[in-house]
Amino acid sequence: MSARAGIVVTGTEVLSGIIPDANGPWLAGELRERGVQLAHVVIVGDRPDDVRAALEFLGRERVDLAITSGGLGPTADDLTADVVAEFAGREMVLDEALEGRIWDIVAPMRSRWPDADEGAMRAGASKQARVPRGATVLEPVGTAPGLVVPPAEGAEGPTVLVLPGPPRELRPMWAAGVETRAVRRALAGAGRYEQRIMRLYGIPEAELAATLRDLEAQGVPMADLEITTCLRRGEIEVATVFEPAAADEYATFEAGIRSRHGDTLFATDGETIDEIVRDLLLGGDGAPTFTIATAESCTGGLMAARLTDLAGSSAYVAGGVVAYANDAKVAMAGVPAELIARHGAVSPQVADALAAGARSRFGADVGVGITGVAGPGGGTPEKPVGTVCLTVDGVDGTEAREARTVHLAGDRADIRERTTVVAMHMLRRVLLAVR
Amino acid sequence: MSARAGIVVTGTEVLSGIIPDANGPWLAGELRERGVQLAHVVIVGDRPDDVRAALEFLGRERVDLAITSGGLGPTADDLTADVVAEFAGREMVLDEALEGRIWDIVAPMRSRWPDADEGAMRAGASKQARVPRGATVLEPVGTAPGLVVPPAEGAEGPTVLVLPGPPRELRPMWAAGVETRAVRRALAGAGRYEQRIMRLYGIPEAELAATLRDLEAQGVPMADLEITTCLRRGEIEVATVFEPAAADEYATFEAGIRSRHGDTLFATDGETIDEIVRDLLLGGDGAPTFTIATAESCTGGLMAARLTDLAGSSAYVAGGVVAYANDAKVAMAGVPAELIARHGAVSPQVADALAAGARSRFGADVGVGITGVAGPGGGTPEKPVGTVCLTVDGVDGTEAREARTVHLAGDRADIRERTTVVAMHMLRRVLLAVR
């Protein structure tokens, strides 16, 4: 790839792990789409020396574009603009027109914070309007303007695109930033690249590694494919980047994976299991929409939340019950109390009853029942932490249903999340059988 | 701080944003607790040149300890050990005893993957047993061993602690790694530091910035406090790091914040709102435990999932209903159909009915009702996307309840998550009123 970029994420709160960084991953995807190679993401605190060192590192690594995120707020510890100005060899100046525009944004907020001090808010706006001389200002989406800062005349180094930290502000301002002349010039060498993602579920990563070696040994051409495999919560992702000219090579590679692992390959075009399940539920093209309902215990609402995460899910999600207490399993999901007494709340029988209860209570076509031990407490020798019973109860008039008991590793959060992964894949199989 | 560390997170899948990095933030917390200053987190792909450049950057930044995460898997693109060996000036050698121990771990997995190829798995184990000569091996928690690699004799540079990528493996192996002689020597200069976090809800960040300037202007001593403020989903966090000798200074600072913002300050010891609500529900010290139930529409289970996220929540979470469809609101949460017809599904009246229904259906002390427009579709001029009605219905025999209609910014995921933040703070106030 001919254009190369680096990202500097600033903020002690991100560096110290208090806030997860949403911007690096998002910017990475944007760069990839534009055929720009991302070399490094550097996360630094709000210490000016460390921010400067990160920029200098990217300069030494000869990136064409350095993107910074964060450190543009109204408080004194927000100093990205100053450091970038120094890095680019430019002095800071007050942009009075910009100050006025920021104040126009900030002033109406006083109604939301009636006790706020106007002087403090004016000082913040003024601070945010100080910019490196010669920089292009990106209009604020929140209150902080962004900046495009090329190196000073005659100097070498990357162009710096300075963006605010909140993702809601950064994303539209990135879109504006890449359209500026300075950024377009910096990225002029970028080629066009394609990325494809295959996803597999139910095979070990080493098995896939063996397949890759095998394909290579058999002379399947893969030299122009940059292939990365990774294990992600029980699913294996095979991400491949290639130039358009290598499209045939990729097609052969994909066919090789499909012929060996067709039973576990569930996505070849980057679709997530959530999107696949959505599409199966939605039907379309003459197929009916199936409605779904959940009755979950250990996942405590995560399964319903996952199903309703996608826009438009109200077309097929009827609802769900979080039957955390045993009484709730009986009263709200219709699980016979004697079933719980005889087999225990974590049992295939109760998972079956939860799935059936979800279907009938919500009048849904498909029911999902989940009961398990998420831990850290509650495990027994017979049913240790990580034991989860799941049932997907299929559509009337079909035999489609699936029930599994799994033993998941990890902590409480892992077990809860992985349970939803297992359930999504069970749902896919049941829905495929019905269609 | 006298000892300084850097983190290199490797993996194209992390760099490209496919997987979020869980390790940098976690390691950051561990380093802080040990009084080690974290200078940089660098995320790089699986290109050896970029991994090497990141290590060299940390070397130039004079860190005492460089920690790497990832790149220790069985596949050929996992090359962290090789690059670290080269960086430290050490050659790679096969540790045959380690190879045997890895095989002892891998071999039983064949029963889970009956179709897996044994040769492939043996090759993977052998690859993972190649280590830099003179490195200390950290026993695998998964299949990948970790490494502690000091610089070659006579050479300068940081000691490198090499850890696997999966958090479940990295965390216990970090604990083993910091106990090794080489890491203890590298961190010998670390001081002892305290970190405190205050959290506020319901004031703008600029207001807090003004308070900080004010306190400084009034001569409140703050020179020995490293204070960072940040806005996080509607809450403001004030994180402060200081040496034990500055404890009095911090106490004065905290008192200053409390006297000015006592009404919005909800945590002074790092507690999250989730923990505070849990403690209020749990009671203890003679206070009764209150049970809680939810009936949610637009959040689709997220509120219940949040309440059950903490271990031990089965003591106070009765359950919840995800009443996504209007029929479900009526049938499962007892919302009168005519209320929906008259006021619309998104209305304070329906939120009230959902909260009351959650209480009565689950026999809980406290009910939470949530209904809103998460978008992107479904908005109207009167009830645009982001409009959410919430009701917390308090305990029998008290007047404690709270109802709010809020207008939240952001995309579907933001609106859903922020709704749960609003609900948690409403819960806190209602529960404080009851106690």
Cβ atoms within 10 Å, residue B334: 18
**pLDDT at position B350, please?**
98
Is A107 a residue whose pLDDT tops 70? Answer: yes
Residues of A in contact with B166 (CB under 8 A): 231
Cα(B121)–Cα(B106) distance, integer angstroms:
7
User: Does the structure's ipTM exceed the value 0.85?
Assistant: no
Cα(B228)–Cα(B115) distance, integer angstroms:
53
Q: What is the mean pLDDT of residues B330-341?
A: 96
Cα(A87)–Cα(A76) distance, integer angstroms:
19
8-state DSSP, A152? P
- Chain B residue at shortest CA distance from A75: B209
**pLDDT at position A115, please?**
67
Inter-chain contact A228–B304, Cβ cutoff 8 Å? Answer: no
Residues of A in contact with B370 (CB under 8 A): none
Partner residues linked to B146 by β-bridges: B138
pLDDT band at A1 (very low <50, low <70, confident <90, very high): very low
Looking only at Cα atoms, what is the longest distance across chain B? 83
Element holding B355 (H helix, E strand)? helix B348-362
Q: What is the pLDDT of residues A203-252, one digit of tens each?
A: 888 888 889 988 999 999 999 998 877 777 789 988 888 888 999 999 99
Cβ-nearest to B324 among A18, A301, A317: A317
Cα(B83)–Cα(B11) distance, integer angstroms:
13
Instruction: For residue A207, give the 3-state DSSP assignment.
Output: helix
**Distance from B47 to chain A by nearest Cα, in Å?**
9
Is B18 a residue whose pLDDT tops 80? Answer: no
Q: Pull the structure tokens for residue A213.
A: 């070696």
B46 contacts B71 by C-beta, under 8 angstroms: yes
Proportion of chain A above pLDDT 90, given as a percent:
68
Residues of B in contact with A38 (CB under 8 A): 15-16, 45
Cβ atoms within 10 Å, residue B82: 16
Cβ-nearest to B302 among A28, A305, A410: A305
pLDDT band at A168 (very low <50, low <70, confident <90, very high): confident
Compute the residue count for chain B: 435
Q: Pull the structure tokens for residue A365.
A: 């076509």
pLDDT band at A114 (very low <50, low <70, confident <90, very high): low
Cβ atoms within 10 Å, residue A52: 17
Partner residues linked to B227 by β-bridges: B240
Is B43 a residue whose pLDDT tops 60? Answer: yes
CA B123 to each of CA A219, A361, B93, B118, B127: distance values in angstroms, whole numbers, following the listed order = 20, 52, 15, 9, 6
Partner residues linked to A43 by β-bridges: A9, B41
- The pTM of the full predicted model, rounded to 2 decimals, is 0.79
A237 contacts A199 by C-beta, under 8 angstroms: yes
Is B113 a residue whose pLDDT tops 70? Answer: no
CA B285 to each of CA A371, B258, B290, B429, B433: distance values in angstroms, whole numbers, following the listed order = 32, 26, 13, 20, 17
Residue B317 C-beta-side C-alpha neighbours within 13 Å? 29
Interface test mutation site (partner B, options A41, A46, A102, A370, max chain B beta carbons within 10 A)? A41
Q: What is the mean pLDDT of residues A155-161?
A: 93
Listing DSSP states for A10-63 in one string gives: E-HHHHTTSS---HHHHHHHHHHHTTPEEEEEEEE-S-HHHHHHHHHHHHHTT-
- Chain A residue at shortest CA distance from B270: A18
Residues of B in contact with A334 (CB under 8 A): none
**pLDDT at position B1, please?**
47
Proportion of chain A above pLDDT 70, given as a percent:
98
B10 contacts B41 by C-beta, under 8 angstroms: no
CA A395 to each of CA A106, A401, B50: distance values in angstroms, whole numbers, following the listed order = 54, 8, 52
8-state DSSP, B75? S
pLDDT band at A254 (very low <50, low <70, confident <90, very high): very high
**pLDDT at position B384, please?**
94
Cα(A171)–Cα(A158) distance, integer angstroms:
21
Is B114 a residue whose pLDDT tops 70? Answer: no
Task: Label residue B202 left, alpha or beta by phi (over 0 means left) and psi (-120 to 50 means alpha).
Answer: left
Inter-chain contact B77–A228, Cβ cutoff 8 Å? Answer: yes
Q: What is the mean pLDDT of residues A349-353?
A: 98
Q: What is the mean pLDDT of residues A394-422?
A: 90
Is B398 a residue whose pLDDT tops 90? Answer: no
**pLDDT at position A54, please?**
96
- Chain B residue at shortest CA distance from A316: B325
Q: Pull the structure tokens for residue B191.
A: 């001081």
pLDDT band at A154 (very low <50, low <70, confident <90, very high): confident
Task: Find, among A432, A368, A366, A362, the residue nearest to A394 by Cα.
Answer: A366
Kindly report which listed range (A140-149, A237-246, B53-62) carries the lowest average pLDDT score.
A237-246
Is B249 a residue whose pLDDT tops 90? Answer: yes
B303 contacts B423 by C-beta, under 8 angstroms: yes
Is B233 a residue whose pLDDT tops 80? Answer: no
* B292-296 vs B317-322, strand pairing mode: parallel
Is B36 a residue whose pLDDT tops 60? Answer: yes
**Distance from A242 to chain B by nearest Cα, in Å?**
14
A198 contacts A237 by C-beta, under 8 angstroms: yes
Cβ-nearest to B319 among A38, A323, A414: A323
Owner of token pair 């075009």: A269
CA A270 to each of CA A267, A341, A432, B50: distance values in angstroms, whole numbers, following the listed order = 6, 45, 19, 26
Cα(A408)–Cα(A420) distance, integer angstroms:
11
Inter-chain contact A321–B317, Cβ cutoff 8 Å? Answer: no
Cα(B407)–Cα(B389) distance, integer angstroms:
9
**pLDDT at position A112, please?**
66
Which of A21-25, B141-145, B282-286, B321-325 has the highest average model confidence (pLDDT)? B321-325
